Chain A
Amino acid sequence: GQQLNQSPQSMFIQEGEDVSMNCTSSSIFNTWLWYKQEPGEGPVLLIALYKAGELTSNGRLTAQFGITRKDSFLNISASIPSDVGIYFCAGPWYGGSQGNLIFGKGTKLSVKP
């Protein structure tokens, strides 16, 4: 089936550093979503992207929809301890039914105070 390749798998950074992660696919997606999941909780939507080339910010988070429509990037500026969690990219896949979401494997972010 379709896969989203997300990298890096994990990151260990110092508080205040910037973070960058990406997601790629062999297929074109018309929507890219970025979610954050904290331990024992469900994913929370961070940013939704709907147009190739789109650059969208949500506070210290910025995400971009790649021009090829096969990739997306998420950047976090000036990280803080509460940024800790697993970040997932996701996109609706129409090979199934009703635009089911396919998820990347996640990037686990650890921030050292």
Chain B
Amino acid sequence: GAVVSQHPSRVICKSGTSVKIECRSLDFQATTMFWYRQFPKQSLMLMATSNEGSKATYEQGVEKDKFLINHASLTLSTLTVTSAHPEDSSFYICSARVQGSLSNQPQHFGDGTRLSIL
């Protein structure tokens, strides 16, 4: 149980393109989903917390107009990288926590999206 699906797994596109990444909880509902960014050989850095039906909470230094987050249902959150540039190339990973679980319960992660901007 607690499977999180992320799509696409890999994106290669030209500079200036906007890219949408989907994160779905397949067998549970998630009021809260999280978006992380991971550079090569580094740890995961939280970008934003996505809440169903409300605005996302962004971490310091993350541009909310650059990284648009929509959490329209209890099983889907999307991250759109707008007008992507080469410096946005990274591994983006989402996670979700089971609805109703305490905030110290584990997050379940998707398999990540490798974004490469040419």
Contact = CB atoms under 8 A, between A and B. Distances in A.
Interface of A: 30-31, 33, 35, 40-45, 48, 50, 88, 92, 94, 96-101, 103-106
Nearest to B114: A40
Nearest to A31: B104
A88 B43 contact: yes
Given A41-B111, A42-B6, A97-B57, A104 B43 contact: yes
Interface of B: 4, 6, 32, 34, 42-44, 46, 49, 51, 57, 59, 93, 95, 102-112, 114
B44 A50 contact: no
A23 B104 CA distance: 17
A98 B30 CA distance: 13
A96 B104 contact: no
A44 B59 contact: no
Nearest to B107: A101
B34 A106 contact: no
